[in-house]
Amino acid sequence: MFPHQNSHMADSDSDGSSVDAGAAAVPCGVEPAVPASVEVIQLIEVLKEVEVGGTKILFYEPDIADGDTVSTITRASVLAKRHLLLPAAMAEAVARKSQACIEMVYNWPGGSTSCGNAMWSRFMTPLMEEVKVATRKKAWRDVLAGLLAIFLIGAAEDNWLEDQEVSHEWDEFRKWFTWLSTAWKTLLQQSDADLGLANPHGKPAGYYRGVLTDGLKSWADEVNPTLDRLRMHNEKPARIVVPRLGKVSTPKAAELAGKRKEHA
């Protein structure tokens, strides 16, 4: 379950409507956008009712499905699709970072291997460094933005994994996936409010965490077999480990934990 290209293809910088964060997950060879249909126009109008309170939506399934009509595209039908409703600044950062990589891949003048190497040197490694810095600062929304950008890039293109030379330095390569898994685990221990997922206009508490973990699991199911194939027989395995949805950190829980340590 991966993010999809949004049919409305809107740009928040020009008219205040939705940023197409999901467009980062469009595979190579997609045809240019066609003039807006009546269904797309209806969707754009409905999104004005959904993207309120400074939010933007990222769909995890087609925003307009086969058989949808103007009458069936409503606020309720949009919110019934698997999605994330993110703070606008976060959604725009995710779109900007991931789309820059996808555009590089589309326009890459060299071979496939050099493109895969560039995805690592220009995006995957720097983004992970940003995630690590944001984690140390406990800037959880920045952590989520970085992890979502990595996810969108990794789910959209396979050169970064299938055709690259970074894995020749296996220990460093393996550590990247350890950091990725640890970052997701730490992130999902934080509250919805800290992550920007608590939105009174969106879905109930816990829904967006499920979307995040389901998407990560789908990605891990594709990536991990390739990691097994890349690994030499005497090397430690590299894995994306999907965290379980466990206890969430809250100010009260942190206070109680501190008191327990004091009396231990």
pLDDT digit string, tens, across residues 30-74:
333 445 789 999 999 999 999 999 999 999 888 998 889 999 999
Cβ-based neighbours of 225, under 8 Å, separated by 6 or more: none
From CA 25, how far away is CA 102, in angstroms rounded?
Answer: 8
Residue 6 lies in a domain: no
From CA 206, how far away is CA 85, in angstroms rounded?
Answer: 13
3-state secondary structure of 133: helix
From CA 177, how far away is CA 163, in angstroms rounded?
Answer: 17
Instruction: Look at residue 36 in the predicted model and tell me its pLDDT.
Output: 74
Amino acid at 252: K
pLDDT digit string, tens, across residues 142-187:
999 999 999 999 999 899 999 999 999 999 999 999 999 999 999 9
Dihedral sign computed on CA atoms, order 131, 134, 135, 138: negative
Residue 129 lies in a domain: yes
Residue 4 lies in a domain: no
pLDDT digit string, tens, across residues 93-109:
999 999 999 999 999 99
Residue 58 lies in a domain: yes
Backbone angles phi, psi at 48, to 5 degrees: -65, -25
Residue 178 lies in a domain: yes
Structural domain for 199, as ranges: 12-252
The radius of gyration of the chain from alpha carbons, rounded to an integer in Å, stands at 19
Overall number of domains in the chain: 1
Do 64 and 7 form a contact (C-beta atoms < 8 A)?
yes
Residue 262 lies in a domain: no
pLDDT at residue 261 above 70? Answer: no
CA–CA–CA angle 222, 237, 151 (5° rounding): 35
Cβ-based neighbours of 129, under 8 Å, separated by 6 or more: none
From CA 215, how far away is CA 1, in angstroms rounded?
Answer: 5
From CA 235, how far away is CA 249, in angstroms rounded?
Answer: 35
From CA 226, how far away is CA 236, in angstroms rounded?
Answer: 14
Backbone angles phi, psi at 83, to 5 degrees: -160, 170
Residue 93 lies in a domain: yes
